[in-house]
Every structure is written in structure tokens, then in C-alpha cells.
Amino acid sequence: MVIRSWRSCVSWFVFGAAFVLGLIYCDKTNCEEFNLAPEMRLTLGLMALLGLQGFLAEALGLWADENGFSIPRRIFPHLGFPVLWRRKIPGRSLSRIDAIDSRMVRLYLTSTERVDFVFADNEKRRRFLRFVNQFYSQQAYVRRATGEN
């Protein structure tokens, strides 16, 4: 199962494209008005790479199967920015999955770590919870997700 947030994909694409355009502008004008040509190019290049990897991580979306989950690694889950590539969570490391509100789920891992994931809308969260209840509720170490199905 794959769930994507196209809004996040577009946001990251615009973010990265803006810095690529800034890098092109800096190359054409040699960044003379800033008097920081090498530093400006490096900063713009790094921000463009951050935008590209954020776009790719969000475009891949949330992957879920019987073996576990792969989600975008969001530093601030409630905001959605920044994304630092992806995080793989093996199914055997889950202890519980709860629905927190209409868009968010919390994964409790056996290492006592909590991972929050915010969906684009309630329907995508429901799809994820149906999948989890179908494949993981039979296993003793995962409690049935709370919230609506």
C-alpha cells in the first residue's frame, strides 16, 4: 500500500525549484550584488538538494506491507518540514499503533520510541488504519489501532 501527499510533493518541488532558479541567477550574474559568490552558490546548491530529496521522499509516500513501513523522515511531524529522506520501520519492532486525531497516527516501537505521522487528510489515515488492522491486529505484539476505521 502506498499513500502520498501531493500537496507536500508540490511544496517540496516549488522549494527546490526556487533555489535552483536562484542558483541559475547567481551563475548568470556571478552574485556580484551580494559580494559572496562562492558562499551564495554553495548555500543555494545545498538548499536545492534539500528540496530535491524532500520532493523524492514525499513522492515515494508512505509504503506499508506485511514486513513494515517506510515513511518520510519528518523532523517536525506536525509541520511536515523539513524532511530528511526516509525511515524504515520493521513490522516486528511495533508494539502499538494509535490514531491521535483526524490526520495523525502514532507508532509505538519496542525500543520505547514514538513515531508520529501526519496524513494529508482523514481518508488517507483511515486507509492506513484499515491496512494496519488487517495485517497487524493478528499479531500479539500490536494492539488494535484506536480511532475510527
* Range 72-99 average pLDDT: 79
Distance in angstroms (rounded) separating the CA atoms of residues 109 and 94: 4
- Asked whether the predicted pLDDT for residue 43 surpasses 60, the reply is yes
- Asked whether the predicted pLDDT for residue 59 surpasses 80, the reply is yes
- Asked whether the predicted pLDDT for residue 140 surpasses 50, the reply is no
Are residues 92 and 60 in contact, defined by beta-carbon separation less than 8 angstroms?
A: no
Residue type, 122: N
pTM > 0.75: yes or no: no
Residue-wise pLDDT tens digits, 108-122: 888 888 888 888 888
